[in-house]
Amino acid sequence: MINEHGILVHSYGPHIFHTRRQKVVDFLSRFTAWRSYEHRVMALIEGRLAPVPFNLTSLEICLPDKALKLAKLLTDTFGKDTSIPILSLRQHDNIALRELGNFVYSRIFLGYTQKQWGLSPEEISPAVTARVPFRISHDDRYFTDFFQAMPKAGYTSMFESMLSHPEITVMLDTAFTDIAGGHASLPCIHTGAIDEYFDFSLDSLPYRSARFEFQHLRQQRHLPVAVVNEPDSDIPHTRVCEYRLLTGQDAPETTVGIEFPCAHLPGKTQQSYPVRTEASVARYKEYKKMARTRTPQTIFCGRLGSFCYYNMDDAVLAGMGAAKAILRFLPPRNRPPDLG
Ligand SMILES: Cc1cc2nc3c(=O)[nH]c(=O)nc-3n(C[C@H](O)[C@H](O)[C@H](O)COP(=O)(O)OP(=O)(O)OC[C@H]3O[C@@H](n4cnc5c(N)ncnc54)[C@H](O)[C@@H]3O)c2cc1C
């Protein structure tokens, strides 16, 4: 969306397109040209800005006195240009590596995760750091996918182009219950929340939400990179994004968006991130069972229909899969040749 100052911003938080799936790139490229963009993120750690994921540059910035020795120890132990989970450091026999792992855990991961998920430190399992990487290199790109880019004229323009087809009707601000009395008797792909679809009859599924505050600044540039994370648990926001650095828009002033994670209140806030626990996934599976028996012609799709965090490329792939799956409900003569 273009805001009142003429700056292209993302109303629902910063979205960077990245994928390893050529098929998804090929599909979306029918509707947009791309601006090549490699995402970089820094975190404010004890008053200093350092790249995340934590890498050898971050080490030099945060622990300048020990950086040389630690870099050698890391390279000797794990190899050069590798990426290891910080859990491997935290559980290592070598005390210096353990301390380093704990430093990264407490300064970068813990506070951010607490705020993101609304958890106390005790509720965060150390095992989740199995996925948090420590890069033994100076590669400061946030993503390593071969395709990283932004739609040249923005996401709205990409979707406008995708939807401008004589067979497509768009009805905004219309709940599925407003159409044909709700539960479809025709084959249908549903991208809304599965618990809401069934009137929360098995109780609601848990989500985290986020609120965005936008500030317009009368200066050309505000941040060193497009996104700066704020891991300090005493500060309520998690990150700040300067949109012009994502979109490449040339303008004399700039707008930043500040992200405040918050609890999701059904009907009041948007579901941003599914909270997948053993209990919530079990409840989701019960809803899936209900869907199979009660509405077999409805395909639940996307992050809300599948109760799973999706990146945009996952969502596109799931959409392509659902488009194929819905064809089994159509007579063969009505199936488009390239999909059937
Ligand atoms: C803050 C934030 C930042 C993100 N950043 C990135 C990023 O940088 N890169 C990336 O790849 N991904 C990112 N994502 C993930 C990305 O937003 C999702 O991949 C994408 O939105 C999933 O698309 P979807 O179609 O599955 O779901 P949605 O985008 O949620 O679409 C669901 C659609 O269903 C409609 N709907 C819901 N309920 C009903 C109803 N009852 N009746 C009618 N319609 C209904 C909604 O209006 C919506 O249009 C981010 C997500 C968040 C929350």
pLDDT tens column, 115-136: 999 988 788 877 777 778 999 9
Instruction: Answer with the one of 88, 115, 136 that is the final residue of a domain.
Output: 136
Claim to verify: residue 74 and residue 180 sit in the same structural domain:
no
Claim to verify: residue 89 and residue 181 sit in the same structural domain:
no
Q: If you measure from the C-alpha of residue 301 to the centroid of ligand 1, how many angstroms do you get, rounded to a whole number?
A: 11
Who contacts 26 (Cβ-Cβ below 8 Å, separation ≥6)? none
Does residue 266's CB lie within 6 angstroms of at least one atom of ligand 1? no
- Indicate the range of 220-224, 236-240, 322-326 predicted with least confidence: 322-326
In a domain? residue 242:
no
Claim to verify: residue 184 and residue 322 sit in the same structural domain:
yes
Strands 227-229 and 239-242: antiparallel
Q: How many domains would you assign to the chain?
A: 2
Pick the residue whose CA is nearest to atom 23 on ligand 1: 315
pLDDT at 192 over 70: yes
Does residue 227's CB lie within 6 angstroms of at least one atom of ligand 1? no
Query: Of all atoms in ligand 1, which is nearest to the CA of residue 319?
Result: 25
Average pLDDT over residues 253-272: 93
Q: What is the dihedral of CA 99, 103, 109, 115, to 10 degrees?
A: 120
Report the pLDDT value the prediction gives residue 340, as an integer from 0 to 100. 42
Claim to verify: residue 175 and residue 287 sit in the same structural domain:
yes
Instruction: Answer with the one of 136, 156, 185 that is the final residue of a domain.
Output: 136
Residue type for position 81: D
Check the CA dihedral 325-331-332-334 and report its sign.
negative
Q: If you measure from the C-alpha of residue 291 to the centroid of ligand 1, how many angstroms do you get, rounded to a whole number?
A: 21
Does residue 107's CB lie within 6 angstroms of at least one atom of ligand 1? no
Q: If you measure from the C-alpha of residue 43 to the centroid of ligand 1, how many angstroms do you get, rounded to a whole number?
A: 26
In a domain? residue 149:
no
Does residue 16's CB lie within 6 angstroms of at least one atom of ligand 1? yes
Number of Cβ atoms within 10 Å of the Cβ of 171: 8
Residue type for position 331: P
In a domain? residue 284:
yes
In a domain? residue 67:
yes
Pick the residue whose CA is nearest to atom 33 on ligand 1: 191
In a domain? residue 92:
yes
Q: What is the mean pLDDT of the chain?
A: 93
In a domain? residue 246:
no
Burial class (CB in 10 A: 0-12, 13-18, 19+), 261: buried
Pick the residue whose CA is nearest to atom 3 on ligand 1: 13
Claim to verify: residue 80 and residue 175 sit in the same structural domain:
no
Pick the residue whose CA is nearest to atom 25 on ligand 1: 302
CA atoms within 13 A on the CB side of 282: 3
In this prediction, residue 328 has a pLDDT band, given cuts at 50, 70 and 90, of confident
Q: Give the span between the Cα atoms of 269 and 267, in whole angstroms.
A: 6
Please give the helix or strand (H or E) that residue 155 lies within, else none. helix 155-163
Q: What is the dihedral of CA 193, 198, 202, 208, to 10 degrees?
A: 20
Does residue 210's CB lie within 6 angstroms of at least one atom of ligand 1? yes
Does residue 13's CB lie within 6 angstroms of at least one atom of ligand 1? yes
Q: Is the peptide bond before 53 cis (omega within 30 degrees of 0)?
A: yes
142-160 residue pLDDT tens: 999 999 999 999 999 999 9
Q: Give the span between the Cα atoms of 185 and 196, in whole angstroms.
A: 18
Does residue 39's CB lie within 6 angstroms of at least one atom of ligand 1? no
Does residue 315's CB lie within 6 angstroms of at least one atom of ligand 1? yes
Average pLDDT over residues 237-261: 97
Claim to verify: residue 74 and residue 179 sit in the same structural domain:
no
Does residue 209's CB lie within 6 angstroms of at least one atom of ligand 1? no
Burial class (CB in 10 A: 0-12, 13-18, 19+), 61: middle
Does residue 258's CB lie within 6 angstroms of at least one atom of ligand 1? no
Q: What are phi and psi of 9, to 5 degrees?
A: -125, 165
Instruction: Answer with the one of 136, 162, 182 that is the final residue of a domain.
Output: 136
In a domain? residue 228:
no
Claim to verify: residue 278 and residue 184 sit in the same structural domain:
yes
Claim to verify: residue 188 and residue 323 sit in the same structural domain:
yes
- Indicate the range of 226-240, 298-312, 319-333 predicted with least confidence: 319-333
Q: If you measure from the C-alpha of residue 84 to the centroid of ligand 1, how many angstroms do you get, rounded to a whole number?
A: 30
Claim to verify: residue 277 and residue 132 sit in the same structural domain:
no
Report the pLDDT value the prediction gives residue 339, as an integer from 0 to 100. 53
The answer to whether 6 and 251 are in contact (CB under 8 A) is: yes
In a domain? residue 57:
yes
Taking alpha carbons only, the member of 200, 175, 195 closest to residue 274 is 195
In this prediction, residue 16 has a pLDDT band, given cuts at 50, 70 and 90, of very high
The answer to whether 110 and 121 are in contact (CB under 8 A) is: yes
Claim to verify: residue 193 and residue 314 sit in the same structural domain:
yes
Which CATH number fits the domain that encloses residue 183? 3.40.50.720
Claim to verify: residue 190 and residue 329 sit in the same structural domain:
yes
Claim to verify: residue 118 and residue 201 sit in the same structural domain:
no
Strands 41-45 and 227-229: parallel
Give the mutation target among 239, 303, 314, 317 for probing the ligand 1 site: most ligand atoms within 8 A of CB.
Answer: 303
Pick the residue whose CA is nearest to atom 14 on ligand 1: 311
Structural domain including 187 reads: 171-205+271-334
**DSSP collapsed to 3 states, 269-292:** CCCCEECCCHHHHHHHHHHHHHHH
